[in-house]
Amino acid sequence: MSYGIIGITVLWTFLFGYLIVASVDFGAGFFSYYSKITGHNNKVHTIIQRYLSPVWEVTNVFLIFFVVGLIGFFPDSAYYYGTALLVPGSLVTVLLALRGAYYAYNTYGSSKEDNITYMAIYGATGLLIPAALSTILAISEGGIIREENGKVVLDWARFLTNPYTWSVIILALVSVLYISAMFLAFYAHKAGDEGAFSVLRTYALSWSGPTILACLFAFFQINRQNPAHFSNMLDMAWMFIASLICFLLAVYFIWKKKNLGWSFLLVILQFGFAWYGYGRSHLPYILYDQISTADSITNDVMAGALIAAFLAGLLVLIPSLILMMRLFLFDAKYVSGSPLKKG
């Protein structure tokens, strides 16, 4: 296997980690705000805070890891994506900054329980960021970043009038809400909070339909956008079928209110199959057809060092994450315990 393939596999996996963790976080911000302004149910909010508080910082690192790794393994991507994405990239940065800072202000700094302004910022950015980030997937299909007279430019008109762009944005929005609701329903059930569970279950079920529709829509838009990629996808159709089966089972379980742990695991598998199927069929291109995995770093020593660093990093990272999950996610006393205490 070439270093390019190893590199992109590692990075794709981290991006998948970000997709799951960040979706829970992004969606939770929205639900938290939504349940507050509808005066719907304060219990939902407590559950959400209990989960989010210890993990908000970790989510950010997944994204940075991906960006840094991408440049590390494929320095050319810095040139094309970096130049073309200055404006959208800066906007995402600003949104991420506001979101991170105001989350911390609300959780640790605000004397009131929920500052409605902070929550509004948190909820709104929770939808805007995934929408913005997902457009990079549309750009990676090619034809939008062009090199003219030695300058890299982003073709805005082509970008905005492209139905595929909008299909990924819609897909990102609904799946963020779906993943988040599925997770929080599981978490609420674990905490024995039946009130929160029934609200969150409704959210999860009502977002499941739009999610699968958006998936299908995006799937067929790829055909229009990039037929070569689409035919690659058909070659590994089993992955997308497996994804659909996982989806059906996950929704069935939550409908029946049983096996909720499995239900969320199936959600992960559903997106996992689709994610890796999409990614695998995208290869060998990182950006159609300007950057391919063959253009990865030219020297083996650095590639070897990066992979070694990555493995060493995982040796520390995985036990730490497990420790964190045991302390907060799967600790019955913490999940259902007395009111959340901060330092």
Cβ contact 205:254 at 8 Å: yes
Q: Is residue 341 close enough to count as binding another protein by CB under 8 A?
A: yes
The CB-of-293 to another protein minimum distance in angstroms stands at 16
| CB-based burial, 138-152: b 16+ in 10 Å, e otherwise | bbbbbbbbeeeeeeb
Question: Binding string to another protein for residues 18 to 47, with x set by CB under 8 A, is what?
Answer: ------------------------------
Q: Which is nearer to another protein, 248 or 312 (CB)?
A: 312
Q: Of the candidates 37, 40, 87, 113, which one interacts with another protein according to CB under 8 A?
A: 87
Segment near another protein (CB under 8 A); pick from 133-141, 181-189, 192-200, 319-327: 319-327
Question: Residues binding another protein: what is the number (CB under 8 A)?
Answer: 72
Considering only CA atoms, give the Rg of the chain.
Answer: 20
53 lines the binding site for another protein (CB under 8 A)? yes
CB of 124 to another protein, least distance (A): 15
**Exposed e or buried b per residue across 182-211, where buried means at least 16 C-beta atoms within 10 angstroms of its C-beta:** bbbbbbbbbbebeebbebbbebbbebbebb
- Which range in 16-24, 61-69, 191-199, 221-229 contacts another protein by CB under 8 A? 61-69
Count Cα neighbours of 67 within 13 Å in the Cβ-side half-sphere.
Answer: 13
The residue within the footprint of another protein, chosen from 323, 330, 332, 336 (CB under 8 A), is 323
**Collapsing DSSP states into helix, strand and coil, what is residue 145?**
strand
In 3-state terms, what secondary structure has residue 162?
A: coil
Report if residue 65 touches another protein, rule: CB under 8 A.
Answer: yes
Structure tokens at 220: 């067929």
Is 69 a binder of another protein (CB under 8 A)?
yes
Residues numbered 101-130 forming contacts with another protein, rule: CB under 8 A: 101-105, 108-111
- What six digits make up the tokens of 325? 């999950």
By the rule CB under 8 A, 329 interacts with another protein: no
Please identify which residue in the block is written with the tokens 């762009």. 165
**Phi, psi dihedral angles at 286 (to 5 degrees):** -90, -35
Shortest separation between residue 71's beta carbon and another protein, angstroms: 5
Site map (CB under 8 A) of another protein, residues 258-297, x = contact? ---------------------------------------x
* Binding of residue 100 to another protein (CB under 8 A): yes
Omega of the bond leading into 284 within 30 degrees of 0 (cis): yes
Is residue 313 close enough to count as binding another protein by CB under 8 A? Answer: yes
Q: How far apart are the first and last CA of the chain?
A: 48
